[in-house]
Structures are given as C-alpha cells and as structure tokens.
C-alpha cells in the first residue's frame, strides 16, 4: 500500500469555508520499484480574478425644452390702415347677418339711443336757467353723457343705421359684399332703429319723468325749422363724426380705449348741434308727444328724410370711400395698381 503524507496549508482552516481546495499528487520514484510514494498536498485554490463592474451611469434626462416666448401683447391702438381693414371685416359680417337678427339688434340700438337721450336731456332740464344763461356749458353737459347710446350699441351689441352707412360700403368697395346685400339690411336696420326709438318714446312718457315744461318740445320745433340746405350740411358733418367714432372704437383693443374713442366725436356733434337721423327719431317724436306743434309730415320732410340722405353720404363717401382711396381697392384702381 502506498503511504501518503497529508500536508495541509497552515491557513487551510481559515480558507476552507471560503475557497475550494485543489488536491495534487506529487509523485517521485522509489528505490524498491514496487510502488510509488506520493505526497498529497491540499492547497487552496487560487483566488479567481474578480473584476468589479461599475454600472454605467444612468443617462441624464433630456433637458426640458425652452419655454416658448410669450406672445407680444396687442398694440393698444391700430394704425390707420389696420383700422380700415378692421372696418372692412366688420362690414363684411354685417352684410351676411340674417335680416331677422339684424332687425332685433336694430330695435335694441334704437332703444339704447333713447336711454342716452333721456339721460342727456334730463341733465339739461334739471339745471334751472343754465340753457338761457350759459348755453355752451349746458350743451356740453348734455353732450358729455350722450355717448352712452353708442357705447351700449358697440359693447353690448346693436345695429345702428348711421354706422352701417360706412362699414357696409367699405366691404363693398373691397369686394367682400355687394350692394344687393347692403340695401336690404340698411332698410331693415333703419326700420328697426325707428321702432326702438318710438318704443322708448312711449316708455319715457309713461314714466312721468318728463312734462310739457321740458326742453324737448322746444328742441323738436327748432330741429324742424332749420332751412333745408343747413339741415343737409349738418347731417353730413354729424355722421362723418359718428362714423369716425366707430372707426376709433375699432382702433382700440381695450374697453377704456373704445369708450374714449367713441366719446369725443359724439360729444362734439351733440355740443355743436348737428343732425343725426336715428337720434332725431327719438328727440322729435318725444317732443311732439309732450306738446310740440310739429306734424308728422313736417318731421319727415323738414328733418328725417334730408338728414338721412346726408348721413348716408357722410358714411358711404366721406368715411368709407375716402379710406378705400387711401388704403383699399379704390385707391389701387385710381393709381393703376393691381387690386389686392
């Protein structure tokens, strides 16, 4: 039997639990030739080479996109060419409005002017003697609050004939509408304004807030006593200012700007004493209802009809026509340029 000598590494006990052992047989020849004597040596296995793997760093999250720049606030006031563009757009919409809807909005507009007239002439009537002692101040006080009517129409919604005499033709001049669309809507809005004003005449008289001693009867007589030529010129100048008030309201992008834009031209025409056809639909009939010696025929022939014609000329020619010559197709045609 061959004998074996077990030699163990001194640190075997310490590493036995942690590393496997490698058993090696060392052979060497013996002199007797009948066997071999071997040494069995238990040595600890070589520690494997351990490579520490460092996990790759997580990819950085994508950077948040830069916030879009805030849009620039709208300009507080449009330049003149842009005002005309806005007027054309407004006129185009008005030319497409259904006739029934236009009539309802026109009645409202007439009523709103009735409110403005009531406020204006109540203020004038409640300052005793002011009209005779300081007529300029009296007219200014009355005029300063009359823009309430146009403000209600513009902000709350309404169809006013005198403003439409500029807005709708502007759409026609730029090829956005036709006269066949304009004329029926003018007629419907005119009748609606008249109905709204007359309804407010009935309502105001029913309140008992006005009487025969009011300034309105005298004003009705005065308005129907002006020579025809003067009436025509006053009506042209009046609606030119009113249409410019509409233009200025379109120019502003906020409520204070719109109110201020409307206030100045309307205050001017009332203070001066110009003739507005729709306002007169309330002023003269209520004066008649309070006892003014004015007939319906005199109201129509001496005031309403000529004032209406002058108002139309101011809106369609002086306002819409002049700005189309300046910024639109009429000007392009006049200068031999291609229409936009």
If we measure between CA atoms, which residue out of 54, 117, 55 comes closest to residue 279?
Answer: 117
Q: Distance of CA 36 to CAs 23, 24, 40, Å?
A: 17, 15, 12
Q: Distance of CA 250 to CAs 5, 82, 102, 167, 260, Å?
A: 115, 9, 20, 11, 12
Q: Looking at the structure, give the CATH architecture of the domain made up of residues 80-334.
A: Up-down Bundle (1.20)
If we measure between CA atoms, which residue out of 238, 183, 214 comes closest to residue 289?
Answer: 214
Cα 69 from Cα 63, distance rounded (Å): 17
- Taken as a whole, the chain contains a residue count of 340
If we measure between CA atoms, which residue out of 165, 147, 301 comes closest to residue 232?
Answer: 301
The two structure tokens encoding residue 21: 């052992």
The pTM for the full model equals: 0.78
Per-residue pLDDT 10s for the chain (340 aa) are 444 444 444 444 444 444 444 444 444 444 444 444 454 545 455 555 555 556 667 777 777 777 777 777 777 889 999 999 999 999 999 999 999 999 999 999 999 999 999 999 998 888 777 877 888 898 999 999 999 999 999 999 999 999 999 999 999 999 999 999 999 999 999 999 999 999 999 999 999 998 877 889 999 999 999 999 999 999 999 999 999 999 999 999 999 999 999 999 999 999 999 999 999 999 999 999 999 999 999 999 999 999 999 999 999 999 999 999 999 999 888 777 655 5
Instruction: Report the interhelical angle of 161-173 vs 80-96 (nearest 10°).
Output: 100
| In the chain, domain spans | 80-334
Q: Are 271 and 195 in contact (CB under 8 A)?
A: no
Q: How many CB atoms are closer than 10 A to CB 330?
A: 18
Cα 157 from Cα 160, distance rounded (Å): 10
Residue 255 neighbours by CB under 8 Å, 6+ apart = 155
If we measure between CA atoms, which residue out of 271, 262, 272 comes closest to residue 242?
Answer: 262
């Amino acid at each position: 039997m061959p004998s074996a000598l077990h030699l163990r590494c001194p640190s075997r006990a310490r590493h036995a639990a942690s590393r496997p052992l490698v058993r090696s047989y060392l052979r060497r020849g013996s002199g007797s030739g009948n066997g071999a004597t071997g040494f069995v040596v238990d040595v600890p296995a070589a520690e494997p080479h351990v490579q520490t793997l460092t996990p790759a760093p997580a990819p950085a999250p994508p950077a948040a996109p830069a916030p879009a720049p805030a849009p620039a606030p709208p300009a507080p006031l449009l330049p003149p060419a842009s005002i005309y563009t806005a007027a054309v757009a407004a006129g185009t919409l008005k030319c497409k409005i259904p006739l029934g809807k236009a009539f309802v909005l026109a009645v409202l507009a007439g009523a709103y002017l009735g409110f403005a007239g009531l406020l204006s002439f109540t203020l004038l009537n409640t300052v005793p003697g002011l009209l005779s002692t300081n007529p300029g101040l009296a007219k200014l006080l009355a005029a300063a609050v009359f823009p309430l009517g146009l403000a209600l129409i513009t902000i709350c919604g309404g169809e006013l004939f005198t403003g439409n005499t500029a807005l709708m033709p502007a759409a026609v001049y730029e090829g956005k509408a036709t006269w066949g669309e304009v004329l029926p809507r003018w007629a419907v809005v005119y009748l609606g304004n008249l109905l709204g004003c007359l309804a407010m005449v009935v309502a105001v008289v029913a309140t008992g807030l006005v009487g025969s001693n009011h300034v309105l009867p005298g004003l009705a007589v005065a308005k129907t006593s002006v020579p025809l030529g003067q009436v025509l010129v006053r009506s042209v100048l009046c609606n030119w200012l009113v249409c410019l008030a509409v233009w200025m309201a379109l120019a502003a992008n906020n409520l204070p700007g719109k109110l201020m834009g409307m206030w100045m031209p309307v205050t001017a025409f009332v203070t001066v004493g110009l003739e507005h056809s729709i306002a007169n639909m309330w002023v003269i009939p209520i004066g008649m209802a309070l006892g003014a010696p004015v007939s319906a025929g005199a109201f129509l022939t001496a005031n309403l009809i000529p004032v209406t014609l002058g108002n139309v000329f101011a809106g369609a020619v002086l306002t819409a026509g002049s700005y189309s010559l300046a910024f639109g197709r009429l000007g392009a045609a006049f200068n031999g340029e291609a229409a936009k």
